[in-house]
Amino acid sequence: MSEMLRGTPPLERGAKPQSDDTLRARNTRSGPFGVLDLGSSKVACLIGRAESDGRLRALGFGWQKSRGIKSGGIVDLDEAEKAIRAAVGAAEDMADTRLKSVYVNLSCGQPESRLFNVQWPVDGRAVTAEDVKRVVREARARATSDGRATIHALPLSFSADETPGVTDPRGLFCDTLTAKLHVIDAGNTALRTLSACLSRCELDIAALVSAPMAAGLASLVGDERELGATVIDMGGGTTTMAVFGDGHVLHTAQLPLGGIHVTNDIARGLSTSVAHAERLKALYGNCQGSPDDERELLPVPQVGEDEHHIAKMPRSMLISIVKPRLEEIFELVKDRLETAGLGRAGGTRVVLTGGASQLGGVRELSSHILERNVRLGRPGSMIGLPDSASSANFATLVGLLAFATGEGQTMQDINFDSERTGGWVRNVINFLINRV
């Protein structure tokens, strides 16, 4: 059914046993929910729900090689629509359901992350839920800048007069309520394009979710979120990072570099096609050399040559191309983290996710440059999740479902607009579209 409805665009538009690392939603909304990860290398859709005990269950999964998407943004509506329809249609067929809305990763519009301190007068009475909502609205208002829309306004902590470190201020008596909030925004035009593309796929946006935050929800264990850790999601066209501490996301950042850039470097450096460069990267890619690399010869088909003309090149040449690009990425990550000024608030631990994190030697190289303990992350186990979706490549996708069911959200019984219902997101995007 859904293949007929979703799989092909209308002609007119052509103009395991459970383990301790099982993902659980702490404050559960049951669903089912649909989530969509739009990346430069793949488009993936997951449909799932939360069980009565909080465990997450996958109902449907589909993915396609990405088309029309570059560095997190949509650059070709027609091609992106085809890829989205195919991925969503496959997930709908498996789940035997049809999606009306999806939670979508925020990678477009050059997302930016800022911290705000906001004060609200309470005049000696008890703090109410409405006071908390007003503080969040005030943070949104202060964060608003021309050409950008606020996506997240996440409360980190509160102070009731001179009492700091308050997690939930409701019911406390004070004269002034002070809130520290983490605000993430993105460019309006990219959001309008994203909304238009999903509308062509007959999908609404339930909520936009910071991509590295989602990757962290899937890959970090509870102690890492509390004690502090930085998630680095090494995608195809971008590398994103999220700093967690005290159970919250403290900072996010995005770089326009990823695994695709490594592939292109190989293609140029070895005079081979992008497809063969990707294969060489997957089979032999490494950023740590060994004495045998000079003697190990790799088959490298040459661009423009007869298909039987295959050059032989030492593996050391491949490593000499891969390593500098990865060094550049981690040096830029280090600069971004230092510029954020969080010090050791994010702990001394780094967790790597994403397809490029699986290259040999990445863990050792990143640990050397970042001067932190590094581990390779992958999504926590989920009931019914196919093995093909359980690798580090799909950490953001799994984290989106965790977010949809309530994980990582503060004081969920308060409606924080986009963080809860997505209504604010839809209203803002509709406004942006209609104003043109």
Are residues 75 and 140 located together in one domain of the fold? no
The answer to whether the peptide bond before residue 32 is cis (omega within 30 degrees of 0) is yes
Are residues 124 and 213 located together in one domain of the fold? no
C-alpha distances out from residue 388 to 46, 62, 133, 356, 379, Å: 12, 10, 41, 16, 12
Q: What local confidence, expressed as pLDDT, does residue 306 receive?
A: 76
Are residues 136 and 69 located together in one domain of the fold? no
Average pLDDT rounded to a whole number, residues 6-22:
48
Instruction: Residue 127: give its domain's CATH number.
Output: 3.30.1490.110
End-to-end CA distance of the chain: 36
Q: Report yes or no on 251 lying in a domain.
A: no
Q: Report yes or no on 286 lying in a domain.
A: no
Are residues 200 and 78 located together in one domain of the fold? yes
Domain end residue (candidates: 162, 186, 210):
186
Are residues 15 and 78 located together in one domain of the fold? yes
Are residues 139 and 212 located together in one domain of the fold? no
Range of the domain at 407: 2-109+188-219+395-434
31 conformational bin, left if phi > 0, alpha if psi -120 to 50, beta if neither: left
Q: How many domains does the chain have?
A: 2
Are residues 21 and 160 located together in one domain of the fold? no
Average pLDDT rounded to a whole number, residues 135-164:
88
Average pLDDT rounded to a whole number, residues 266-280:
95
Residue 410: both structure tokens together: 């503060």
Q: Report yes or no on 214 lying in a domain.
A: yes
Q: Report yes or no on 42 lying in a domain.
A: yes
Are residues 132 and 205 located together in one domain of the fold? no
Are residues 62 and 170 located together in one domain of the fold? no
Cα separation, 229 vs 344, in Å, equals 9
Residue 418 has pLDDT above 50, yes or no: no
Q: Report yes or no on 179 lying in a domain.
A: yes
Q: Report yes or no on 343 lying in a domain.
A: no
Residue 436 has pLDDT above 50, yes or no: no
Are residues 210 and 89 located together in one domain of the fold? yes
Give the chain's mean pLDDT. Answer: 87
Answering whether pTM is above 0.85, one says: yes
Q: Report yes or no on 294 lying in a domain.
A: no
Domain end residue (candidates: 186, 210, 245):
186
Average pLDDT rounded to a whole number, residues 133-142:
86
205-209, 291-295, 390-394, 419-423: lowest mean pLDDT where? Answer: 419-423
At 20-46, the pLDDT tens digits run 566 555 455 666 999 999 999 999 999
42-46, 60-64, 192-196, 286-290: lowest mean pLDDT where? Answer: 286-290
Which has the closest alpha carbon to 23: 234, 220, 209? Answer: 220
Are residues 147 and 169 located together in one domain of the fold? yes
Res. 16 pLDDT band, cuts 50 70 90: very low
Q: Report yes or no on 173 lying in a domain.
A: yes
Instruction: Residue 19: give its domain's CATH number.
Output: 3.30.420.40
Cα separation, 358 vs 161, in Å, equals 48
Q: For the chain, what percent of residues have pLDDT higher than 90?
A: 70
Domain end residue (candidates: 186, 207, 230):
186
33-42, 370-379, 420-429: lowest mean pLDDT where? Answer: 420-429
Are residues 42 and 118 located together in one domain of the fold? no
